[in-house]
Protein backbone atom coordinates (compact mmCIF):
# COMPACT_ATOMS: atom_id res chain seq x y z
CA UNK A 1 0.00 0.00 0.00
CA UNK A 2 1.34 3.45 -0.91
CA UNK A 3 1.38 6.26 1.64
CA UNK A 4 -1.93 7.71 0.51
CA UNK A 5 -3.20 10.95 2.00
CA UNK A 6 -6.79 10.20 3.02
CA UNK A 7 -8.53 13.59 3.11
CA UNK A 8 -11.10 14.77 5.60
CA UNK A 9 -13.24 17.90 5.76
CA UNK A 10 -11.42 19.01 8.91
CA UNK A 11 -10.74 22.78 8.91
CA UNK A 12 -9.19 23.10 12.36
CA UNK A 13 -6.75 26.03 12.43
CA UNK A 14 -8.19 27.58 9.24
CA UNK A 15 -9.62 31.08 9.05
CA UNK A 16 -12.52 31.77 6.72
CA UNK A 17 -14.34 34.88 5.54
CA UNK A 18 -17.91 34.61 4.22
CA UNK A 19 -19.38 37.71 2.57
CA UNK A 20 -23.15 37.94 2.96
CA UNK A 21 -22.97 35.55 5.90
CA UNK A 22 -25.89 36.98 7.86
CA UNK A 23 -28.55 34.84 6.21
CA UNK A 24 -29.36 32.29 3.51
CA UNK A 25 -26.59 30.37 1.78
CA UNK A 26 -23.77 32.47 3.28
CA UNK A 27 -25.00 31.90 6.83
CA UNK A 28 -25.37 28.18 6.26
CA UNK A 29 -21.95 27.75 4.65
CA UNK A 30 -20.41 29.82 7.48
CA UNK A 31 -21.99 27.44 10.01
CA UNK A 32 -20.71 24.46 7.97
CA UNK A 33 -17.14 25.80 7.94
CA UNK A 34 -17.28 26.57 11.66
CA UNK A 35 -18.69 23.10 12.36
CA UNK A 36 -15.67 21.67 10.52
CA UNK A 37 -13.37 23.60 12.88
CA UNK A 38 -12.66 26.88 11.06
CA UNK A 39 -12.75 30.30 12.69
CA UNK A 40 -15.21 32.29 10.60
CA UNK A 41 -15.79 36.00 9.97
CA UNK A 42 -19.14 36.87 8.40
CA UNK A 43 -19.92 40.15 6.65
CA UNK A 44 -22.98 42.00 5.37
CA UNK A 45 -24.45 45.48 5.53
CA UNK A 46 -27.07 45.06 8.24
CA UNK A 47 -25.42 45.06 11.67
CA UNK A 48 -28.35 43.68 13.64
CA UNK A 49 -28.70 40.75 11.20
CA UNK A 50 -24.98 40.03 11.61
CA UNK A 51 -25.21 40.14 15.42
CA UNK A 52 -28.24 37.81 15.37
CA UNK A 53 -26.51 35.38 12.99
CA UNK A 54 -23.28 35.39 15.02
CA UNK A 55 -25.16 34.83 18.29
CA UNK A 56 -27.04 31.89 16.76
CA UNK A 57 -23.78 30.24 15.67
CA UNK A 58 -22.04 30.96 18.96
CA UNK A 59 -24.83 29.04 20.73
CA UNK A 60 -23.57 25.99 18.81
CA UNK A 61 -20.08 26.62 20.19
CA UNK A 62 -18.77 27.88 16.83
CA UNK A 63 -15.96 30.45 16.63
CA UNK A 64 -17.63 33.20 14.62
CA UNK A 65 -17.34 36.98 14.47
CA UNK A 66 -18.84 39.67 12.23
CA UNK A 67 -17.92 42.88 10.50
CA UNK A 68 -20.32 45.23 8.68
CA UNK A 69 -19.03 45.85 5.16
CA UNK A 70 -20.64 46.66 1.82
CA UNK A 71 -18.97 44.69 -0.99
CA UNK A 72 -19.84 47.36 -3.55
CA UNK A 73 -17.68 50.02 -1.87
CA UNK A 74 -13.91 49.80 -2.35
CA UNK A 75 -13.24 51.75 0.86
CA UNK A 76 -15.44 49.37 2.89
CA UNK A 77 -13.70 46.33 1.41
CA UNK A 78 -10.24 47.80 2.12
CA UNK A 79 -11.29 48.55 5.72
CA UNK A 80 -12.62 45.00 6.05
CA UNK A 81 -9.24 43.60 5.03
CA UNK A 82 -7.38 46.01 7.35
CA UNK A 83 -9.54 44.55 10.12
CA UNK A 84 -8.78 41.01 8.92
CA UNK A 85 -5.03 41.81 8.96
CA UNK A 86 -5.27 43.14 12.53
CA UNK A 87 -7.67 40.67 14.09
CA UNK A 88 -7.43 37.54 11.96
CA UNK A 89 -3.86 37.73 10.63
CA UNK A 90 -4.55 35.17 7.91
CA UNK A 91 -7.27 34.22 5.45
CA UNK A 92 -7.33 30.61 4.32
CA UNK A 93 -10.81 30.43 2.82
CA UNK A 94 -12.93 33.09 1.11
CA UNK A 95 -16.57 32.40 0.35
CA UNK A 96 -17.40 35.18 -2.12
CA UNK A 97 -21.14 34.91 -1.58
CA UNK A 98 -22.81 38.34 -1.13
CA UNK A 99 -25.40 38.73 -3.86
CA UNK A 100 -28.80 40.04 -4.88
CA UNK A 101 -31.31 39.82 -7.71
CA UNK A 102 -33.84 42.12 -9.35
CA UNK A 103 -36.05 40.08 -11.67
CA UNK A 104 -37.23 42.20 -14.60
CA UNK A 105 -37.62 41.73 -18.33
CA UNK A 106 -35.02 43.20 -20.67
CA UNK A 107 -37.44 46.01 -21.56
CA UNK A 108 -38.16 46.87 -17.91
CA UNK A 109 -34.63 46.81 -16.48
CA UNK A 110 -33.57 50.29 -15.41
CA UNK A 111 -29.94 51.36 -15.48
CA UNK A 112 -30.16 51.65 -11.69
CA UNK A 113 -31.30 47.98 -11.41
CA UNK A 114 -28.43 46.84 -13.61
CA UNK A 115 -25.91 48.81 -11.54
CA UNK A 116 -27.19 47.47 -8.21
CA UNK A 117 -27.09 43.83 -9.30
CA UNK A 118 -23.82 43.96 -11.22
CA UNK A 119 -22.10 46.06 -8.53
CA UNK A 120 -23.08 43.61 -5.80
CA UNK A 121 -22.63 40.27 -7.58
CA UNK A 122 -19.69 41.06 -9.86
CA UNK A 123 -17.82 44.18 -8.76
CA UNK A 124 -18.25 43.10 -5.12
CA UNK A 125 -16.80 39.66 -5.81
CA UNK A 126 -13.90 41.27 -7.69
CA UNK A 127 -13.09 43.79 -4.92
CA UNK A 128 -13.20 41.17 -2.17
CA UNK A 129 -11.43 38.50 -4.25
CA UNK A 130 -8.60 40.89 -5.11
CA UNK A 131 -7.93 41.76 -1.45
CA UNK A 132 -8.10 38.10 -0.40
CA UNK A 133 -5.79 37.03 -3.24
CA UNK A 134 -3.12 39.57 -2.18
CA UNK A 135 -2.99 37.96 1.29
CA UNK A 136 -3.18 34.41 -0.04
CA UNK A 137 -0.29 35.06 -2.46
CA UNK A 138 1.87 36.15 0.51
CA UNK A 139 0.77 33.06 2.46
CA UNK A 140 1.34 30.85 -0.62
CA UNK A 141 -1.97 29.10 0.05
CA UNK A 142 -5.70 29.72 -0.01
CA UNK A 143 -9.10 28.69 -1.24
CA UNK A 144 -11.44 31.06 -3.04
CA UNK A 145 -14.98 29.83 -3.56
CA UNK A 146 -17.18 32.10 -5.65
CA UNK A 147 -20.93 31.65 -5.41
CA UNK A 148 -22.26 31.65 -8.95
CA UNK A 149 -25.65 30.34 -10.14
CA UNK A 150 -27.05 28.03 -12.78
CA UNK A 151 -28.12 31.32 -14.37
CA UNK A 152 -24.46 31.87 -15.26
CA UNK A 153 -24.90 28.98 -17.68
CA UNK A 154 -28.54 28.82 -18.75
CA UNK A 155 -30.80 31.56 -20.07
CA UNK A 156 -33.97 32.16 -18.07
CA UNK A 157 -36.33 35.09 -18.61
CA UNK A 158 -36.20 38.14 -16.27
CA UNK A 159 -32.52 37.67 -15.46
CA UNK A 160 -30.67 40.16 -17.67
CA UNK A 161 -28.43 41.70 -15.02
CA UNK A 162 -28.29 38.71 -12.66
CA UNK A 163 -27.37 36.15 -15.32
CA UNK A 164 -24.81 38.53 -16.83
CA UNK A 165 -23.19 38.97 -13.40
CA UNK A 166 -23.11 35.23 -12.69
CA UNK A 167 -21.79 34.32 -16.15
CA UNK A 168 -18.98 36.77 -15.46
CA UNK A 169 -18.36 35.13 -12.06
CA UNK A 170 -17.77 31.83 -13.87
CA UNK A 171 -15.15 33.54 -16.05
CA UNK A 172 -13.52 35.26 -13.05
CA UNK A 173 -13.27 31.84 -11.44
CA UNK A 174 -11.34 30.43 -14.40
CA UNK A 175 -9.08 33.47 -14.84
CA UNK A 176 -8.23 33.64 -11.13
CA UNK A 177 -7.58 29.88 -11.08
CA UNK A 178 -5.11 30.36 -13.95
CA UNK A 179 -3.35 33.30 -12.26
CA UNK A 180 -3.24 31.94 -8.73
CA UNK A 181 -2.42 28.23 -9.21
CA UNK A 182 1.32 28.91 -9.06
CA UNK A 183 0.81 30.51 -5.63
CA UNK A 184 -0.84 27.42 -4.14
CA UNK A 185 -4.33 28.93 -4.33
CA UNK A 186 -7.35 27.15 -5.77
CA UNK A 187 -10.36 29.04 -7.12
CA UNK A 188 -13.65 27.28 -7.75
CA UNK A 189 -17.33 28.18 -7.94
CA UNK A 190 -20.52 26.70 -6.60
CA UNK A 191 -23.48 27.25 -8.90
CA UNK A 192 -26.77 26.56 -7.13
CA UNK A 193 -30.20 26.31 -8.69
CA UNK A 194 -33.14 27.24 -6.50
CA UNK A 195 -32.19 26.95 -2.84
CA UNK A 196 -34.74 28.05 -0.24
CA UNK A 197 -33.40 31.27 1.35
CA UNK A 198 -34.78 34.77 2.04
CA UNK A 199 -33.91 35.55 -1.62
CA UNK A 200 -36.08 32.78 -3.07
CA UNK A 201 -38.65 31.78 -0.43
CA UNK A 202 -41.35 33.83 -2.19
CA UNK A 203 -41.33 31.13 -4.90
CA UNK A 204 -42.90 28.78 -2.34
CA UNK A 205 -45.99 31.04 -2.38
CA UNK A 206 -46.13 31.20 -6.18
CA UNK A 207 -47.63 27.85 -7.18
CA UNK A 208 -47.21 28.29 -10.92
CA UNK A 209 -43.56 29.32 -10.61
CA UNK A 210 -42.83 26.58 -8.06
CA UNK A 211 -44.33 23.94 -10.33
CA UNK A 212 -42.11 25.12 -13.21
CA UNK A 213 -39.01 24.95 -10.98
CA UNK A 214 -39.89 21.49 -9.70
CA UNK A 215 -40.70 20.11 -13.16
CA UNK A 216 -37.40 21.42 -14.49
CA UNK A 217 -35.36 19.86 -11.67
CA UNK A 218 -34.43 16.16 -11.94
CA UNK A 219 -34.79 15.77 -8.16
CA UNK A 220 -38.27 17.41 -8.24
CA UNK A 221 -37.73 19.84 -5.37
CA UNK A 222 -35.97 23.06 -4.43
CA UNK A 223 -32.71 22.68 -2.51
CA UNK A 224 -32.20 23.31 1.20
CA UNK A 225 -29.47 25.77 2.21
CA UNK A 226 -27.58 23.09 4.16
CA UNK A 227 -27.17 21.12 0.93
CA UNK A 228 -24.57 23.77 0.02
CA UNK A 229 -22.37 22.79 2.99
CA UNK A 230 -20.89 19.57 1.60
CA UNK A 231 -19.91 21.09 -1.76
CA UNK A 232 -18.40 24.13 0.04
CA UNK A 233 -16.41 21.87 2.38
CA UNK A 234 -15.15 19.90 -0.61
CA UNK A 235 -13.63 23.03 -2.18
CA UNK A 236 -12.47 24.47 1.19
CA UNK A 237 -10.76 21.34 2.51
CA UNK A 238 -8.01 18.91 1.61
CA UNK A 239 -10.61 16.84 -0.24
CA UNK A 240 -9.98 18.97 -3.36
CA UNK A 241 -6.22 19.67 -3.46
CA UNK A 242 -6.02 19.02 -7.23
CA UNK A 243 -9.24 20.81 -8.25
CA UNK A 244 -9.23 24.39 -9.53
CA UNK A 245 -11.10 26.53 -12.03
CA UNK A 246 -14.22 24.37 -11.72
CA UNK A 247 -17.89 25.24 -11.50
CA UNK A 248 -19.85 22.72 -9.45
CA UNK A 249 -23.60 22.77 -10.08
CA UNK A 250 -25.57 22.24 -6.89
CA UNK A 251 -28.86 22.10 -8.71
CA UNK A 252 -30.72 18.81 -8.17
CA UNK A 253 -29.80 17.93 -11.75
CA UNK A 254 -31.27 21.04 -13.41
CA UNK A 255 -28.34 21.61 -15.78
CA UNK A 256 -28.02 17.88 -16.59
CA UNK A 257 -31.48 17.97 -18.11
192 binds ligand NDP (CB under 6 A): yes
DSSP track, 107-168: TT--HHHHHHHHIIIIIHHHHHHHHHHHHHHHHT-EEEEEE--GGGTS--TTBHHHHHHHHH
Kind plus residue range of the DSSP H or E element containing 179: helix 160-180
Q: Which is nearer to ligand NDP, 46 or 156 (CB)?
A: 46
Q: Which is nearer to ligand NDP, 26 or 142 (CB)?
A: 26
195 binds ligand NDP (CB under 6 A): yes
DSSP track, 10-49: --TT-EEEETT-SSHHHHHHHHHHHHTT-EEEEEES-HHH
Q: Which is nearer to ligand NDP, 141 or 255 (CB)?
A: 255
Query: What residues from 76 to 105 belong to the interface with ligand NDP (CB under 6 A)?
Result: 97-100
109 binds ligand NDP (CB under 6 A): no
194 binds ligand NDP (CB under 6 A): yes
Give residues with Cβ within 8 angstroms of 185, minimum separation 6: 133, 136, 137, 141, 142, 143, 144
Q: Which is nearer to ligand NDP, 99 or 167 (CB)?
A: 99
Q: Is 20 left (phi over 0), alpha (psi -120 to 50) or beta?
A: left
Query: What residues from 217 to 246 belong to the interface with ligand NDP (CB under 6 A)?
Result: none
CA 109 from centre of chain = 25
**What does the CA dihedral 162, 164, 168, 171 come to, rounded to 10 degrees?**
120
Contact letters for ligand NDP, residues 44-63 (x by CB under 6 A): xxx--x--------------
Active-site annotation holds for 6: no
CB of 225 to ligand NDP, least distance (A): 7
Residues 14, 18, 23: CA angle, nearest 5 degrees: 130
- Which of the following is catalytic: 4, 6, 162, 194? 162
Stretch that binds ligand NDP, among 3-11, 37-45, 54-62, 131-139 (CB under 6 A): 37-45
Q: Which of 197, 217, 237, 240 binds ligand NDP (CB under 6 A)?
A: 197
Q: Which is nearer to ligand NDP, 20 or 231 (CB)?
A: 20
Q: Which residues bind ligand NDP (CB under 6 A)?
A: 19-20, 22-26, 43-46, 49, 70-72, 97-100, 120-121, 124, 147, 149, 192, 194-195, 197-200
Question: Which residues are part of the catalytic machinery?
Answer: 162
Amino acid sequence: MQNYVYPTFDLTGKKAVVTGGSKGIGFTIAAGLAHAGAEVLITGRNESALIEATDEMKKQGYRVSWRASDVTTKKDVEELFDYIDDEFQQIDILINNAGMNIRKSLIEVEEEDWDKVVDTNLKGAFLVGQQAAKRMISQKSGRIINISSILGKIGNPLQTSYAASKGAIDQLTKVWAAELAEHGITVNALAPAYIITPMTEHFLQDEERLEKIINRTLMKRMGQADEMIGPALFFASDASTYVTGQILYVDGGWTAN
